[in-house]
A and B are shown apart, each in its own frame.
Chain A
Amino acid sequence: MSYSPYFNPELETMPRKELEALQLERLKSTVKRCLNTKFYQDKFAELGITADDIQTLDDVKKLPFTTKDDLRANYPFGLSTVPMNECVRLHSSSGTTGNPTVVLHTQKDLDEWANAVARCLWMVGSRPEDVFQNSAGYGMFTAGLGFQYGAEKVGMLTVPAAAGNTKRQIKFIKDFGTTVVHAIPSYASRIYEVMKEEGVDPARDTKLRVLCIGAEPHSEEQRKRIEHDLHVKAYNSYGISEMMGPGVAFECQEQNGLHIWEDYFIVEIIDPQTLEPVPDGQIGELVLTTINREGMPLLRYRTRDLTAIMSGECACGRTHRRIQRLQGRSDDMIILKGVNIFPIQIEKILLKFKELSSDYLITLDTDNGGDFMTVDVEISQLFTDDYSRLTQLTKEITRQLKDEILVTPKVRLVPKGSLKASDEGKAVRVKDLRKKF
């Protein structure tokens, strides 16, 4: 059967001018809708602006930022712009400090969300003939239900396997002829590890061909390793629960940047310190304004995720701009001896060493000499009987890390399996034990 390469052909390939006109129209109505809330009424009054100040897309800069703290302060329903009886779903993120955040959806919001995810899945080649297995946690974690409804919208046979019980996951993949899987990258690696233990060869024993990976920042090297191991094409998924979850941005088959759906969002990249916009190509914090949401629209939401706008057209024909693979979170940024370091920089270097597994642990600690960083790396196979070769390896890792992050870490070799990710959830990559003054 032959299909269009696009799920929403008209919207995905809309000429920029029309797309921007659509954005402006949606921005104006979103601003009006937001003014149903006391939170935005107060913010507008503070800045001395009204809805009429928004006449061009550039005027988005006049709008107030919204932060996670604002969501917490208005917990649970303070940012809803519709009566509660119009809302049909609530998602909440964990509240490690204070209140959790809540996002409310109307039925239309859920339909639009499913459409955005379907667009992404279609973009990476999923079709109604495919069998889709979602190995992400369900419940409040938006990647569960988010992918579920999107995959159903594509028309695939959908297996809500959820995370964990890896042996059963592998049985499903084999028995149901799963072709498309969604999992967080560390869990995809775990699935491969267990396949190896069970003597399952992904190329021979499964029909896997597409893997969607997201929720954890990962490097190009890690993607390539997963693609090679599982014998699939792996595509980067970007989602954020405050926007909706998965479906915000996704790689196309070019595997060069993630298209961000500009009929859903207005995209800005700012310097997290000055809050001023940065030029295309420069890394900064992603700021999103929802322009296709009823229940709880957000203006200039500071995602804390670091990326950059990629300029230029994409060969896939979609006109929605691309962002670079996520570079970590501005919150995850480690500041050591005054230097800004992102864990993904360290991961990128470690993956170059074939002697090491993909797991690592960064520990920050304080001793008499001040703060220092230790990086534990796993030896996956002993390649020598010689201590000096191990010392050499440690030195080479240290040297390459220093070239990348500009501070000299202490590198420690540990046996494989010592740092592995648990069966569920995200791997712990950074421990900060520094004394705070």
Chain B
Amino acid sequence: MTINQLSIFIENKSGTLVKVLKILKDAGIQLIASAIADTVEYGIYRVVCSEPTRAYLILKDAGIPVALSDVFALVLENTPGSAADAIELFTNEGISITYMYTFLLKGKGIIVFRTDNADKARETIILNNLKFIAEKDLNALAEQSI
């Protein structure tokens, strides 16, 4: 139900983002989706990629402050309003979305998000029969798209 996401601590300084991206490039890691907000001093750069565990260890060995975390990923129809419908289900249950980002993969909309209540979010996904992706599905999708 969840996928692995890299959370990378990035200083708001020229050259820090490209340093991380180059490490991933040299390791042959493919980015699937990533998001960073503009912040004053530092940001958390969140990355969904191929081989997240290996990517995590490589960054860690390079001395980059990085964490590996579980986030939800739902597959939505690529039509207007599908994200609103999905998120509303969580809101109705009193679950807050901590952050969210979206991307398209094989003509489907994928939303990646984290909530303040993982158990309840899991329950909501099951009860509403939402389509989610697991780590292995993501890898399969990524390979197809290469």
* Chain A residues proximal to chain B, CB less than 8 Å: 379-387, 390, 412-418
Contacts and interface: CB of A to CB of B under 8 A. Distances in A.
Contacts of B65: 379-382, 415-416
Nearest to A381: B65
A379 B69 CA distance: 18
Contact of A418 (B11, B60, B69, B98): B11
Contacts, number: 47
Nearest to B43: A387
B98 A415 contact: no
Given A379-B65, A390-B44, A416-B65, 19 more contacts: A379-B9, A381-B66, A382-B8, A382-B44, A382-B65, A382-B66, A385-B46, A385-B67, A385-B71, A387-B44, A390-B42, A413-B41, A413-B42, A414-B42, A415-B10, A415-B11, A415-B16, A416-B63, A418-B11
A415 B44 contact: no
B135 to A, nearest CB: 16
Contacts of A386: 98
Interface in B5-40: 5, 7-11, 16
Given A382-B7, A385-B44, A387-B44, A415 B69 contact: no
Interface in B99-118: 114
Contacts of B95: none
- Best-buried of B42, B60, B64 by chain A (most CB within 10 Å): B42
- Best-buried of B9, B44, B65, B98 by chain A (most CB within 10 Å): B65
B42 A384 contact: no
- Best-buried of A413, A414, A416 by chain B (most CB within 10 Å): A414
B11 A385 contact: no
A379 B64 CA distance: 9
Contact of B7 (A380, A385, A414, A417): A385
A387 B10 CA distance: 12
A374 to B, nearest CB: 10
Contacts of B114: 385
Interface in B57-89: 60, 63-67, 69, 71
A385 B8 contact: no
- Best-buried of A382, A386, A390, A418 by chain B (most CB within 10 Å): A382
A381 B9 CA distance: 9
A385 B35 CA distance: 13
22 contacts: A379-B9, A379-B65, A381-B60, A381-B65, A381-B66, A381-B67, A382-B9, A382-B65, A383-B67, A385-B5, A385-B7, A385-B71, A386-B98, A387-B44, A390-B42, A412-B41, A413-B41, A415-B9, A415-B10, A415-B42, A415-B65, A416-B65
A195 to B, nearest CB: 14
Nearest to A386: B98
A390 B40 CA distance: 14
- Best-buried of B9, B69, B98 by chain A (most CB within 10 Å): B9
A381 B69 CA distance: 14
B69 A385 contact: yes
Given A379-B9, A382-B9, A417 B66 contact: no
B22 to A, nearest CB: 15
A412 B42 CA distance: 9
Contacts of B10: 415
Contacts of A379: 9, 65
B58 to A, nearest CB: 14
A40 B88 CA distance: 87
A202 to B, nearest CB: 19
Contacts of B42: 390, 413-415
Contacts of A417: 63
Contacts of A413: 9, 41-42
A263 B139 CA distance: 74
- Best-buried of A385, A412, A417 by chain B (most CB within 10 Å): A385
